[in-house]
């Protein structure tokens, strides 16, 4: 079991940038999947980015490719989501998520489907002019 605490959400104008952080406590091994999903009011959850600890290869949803970057620090106790060129449609509550997985492919599915077992409390991102 891991504990996840997000921070970094804010209100920004379109075209702006934010970096979200997720402090991770608990045991993380080489078959862990960590990522971010978001949910806007009245919309379904959307897995936006993830990383497989086995090889640190990232996954991105098509809606954020080229704009968002997911990364983890060397000690693997913080997960980041760098968000550039933000758009109004990026407005949502962003959640950090993590859990055991079988492989990189499963990690990508887990993130896409928001099906990992541990979530944080969320941090709000609002993009408006």
pLDDT digits (tens, 9 = 90+) for 68-119: 999 998 676 899 999 999 999 999 999 999 999 999 999 999 999 989 999 9
CA dist 76 and 1 (Å) reads: 15
CA dist 29 and 8 (Å) reads: 26
What is the pLDDT, as a whole number, of residue 29?
Answer: 78
> Could you write out the DSSP letters of every residue in 78-107?
EEEEEE-S--GGG-EEEEEEEEE-SSHHHH
**Residues 18-46: tens digit of each pLDDT:** 999 999 998 877 788 999 999 999 999 99
- Residue 54: pLDDT over 80: yes
- Residue 63: pLDDT over 90: yes
What is the pLDDT, as a whole number, of residue 26?
Answer: 84
What is the pLDDT, as a whole number, of residue 125?
Answer: 98
**Residue 80: closest CA among 61, 63, 56:** 56
């Amino acid at each position: 079991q891991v504990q996840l605490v997000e921070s970094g959400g804010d209100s920004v104008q379109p075209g702006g940038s934010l970096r979200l952080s997720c402090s991770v406590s608990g045991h993380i091994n080489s078959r862990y999947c960590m990522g971010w999903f978001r949910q806007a009011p009245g919309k379904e959850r959307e897995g936006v980015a993830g990383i497989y600890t086995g090889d640190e290869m990232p996954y991105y949803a098509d809606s954020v490719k080229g704009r968002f970057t997911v990364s983890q620090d060397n000690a693997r106790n913080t997960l980041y989501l760098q968000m550039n060129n933000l758009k109004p449609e990026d407005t949502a509550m962003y959640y950090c998520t993590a859990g055991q997985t079988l492989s990189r492919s499963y990690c990508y599915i887990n993130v896409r489907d928001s099906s990992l077992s541990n979530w944080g409390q969320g941090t709000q991102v609002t993009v408006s002019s």
